[in-house]
Amino acid sequence: MRYIRHSLKKHLLAIPGVLACACAVAQAPGKASWPAVPSLLILPSEYGTLHIALNEYVHESTLQIDSRPTQPEIRGLLNITYAFQMPDAQAALVSINRGNDACPFSYRWVLLRRGSHLISPEFGSCSEKIRVSAEGETLNIETPNRVDAAKIDVYSYDGGSTISYSTIDP
């Protein structure tokens, strides 16, 4: 049984890298292409270590800070996709897939600060295609609009408890 768990963990650790390579190869070149999304399972910082505790059930992995589950708990097929060093915090974007075919992907920002952490509300347009940027202390995500593929949804997070949302025509 121990061998099976070890083997399963080893294979699960390889999945994000294989998926990232497959996404990078599958993308069409040009203005409308979306970059391959990075994937981390651990993010050490001066404010603590953010990591994904794998589970033998793929959609039951949990996000942890210094080996303790986050509050609120974040559970699913998780990836730490982007990280930004802020003036007094480490910001990380976490993608969440709970196996729901109708809306496979959602996102949350996690801010690690000295002695505390803050987790944004869940957001996203159900797509794994994202572009991420930081403008000052505002963290932005662009993703295809779920209803009109010619439009882009923009989610902006300023480190508080809300996510602002807008739709743009590229």
Cβ atoms of 71 and 118 within 8 Å: the answer is: no
Neighbours of 6 (CB within 10 A): 10
For 127, residues 6+ apart whose C-beta sits below 8 A from its C-beta are: 105, 143, 144, 146
Rounded to the nearest 5°, which phi and psi values hold at 158? Answer: -105, 10
Beta-strand (E) ranges in the chain? 42-45, 48-53, 61-65, 68-69, 75-86, 89-97, 105-113, 116-119, 123-126, 131-135, 138-144, 152-157, 163-168
pLDDT at 33: 85
For residue 93, which of 152, 23, 163 has the smallest C-alpha distance? 163
Q: Coil, helix or strand for 125? A: strand
What is the residue-level pLDDT of the chain in tens, covering all 170 positions?
444 444 444 444 444 443 343 333 333 333 458 999 999 999 999 999 999 999 999 899 999 999 999 999 999 999 999 999 998 999 999 999 999 999 999 999 999 999 999 999 999 999 999 999 999 889 999 999 999 989 999 999 998 888 999 999 98
CA angle 109/121/144 to nearest 5° reads 75
pLDDT at 18: 37
Residue with tokens 């869940």: 122
Neighbours of 145 (CB within 10 A): 16
pLDDT at 28: 33
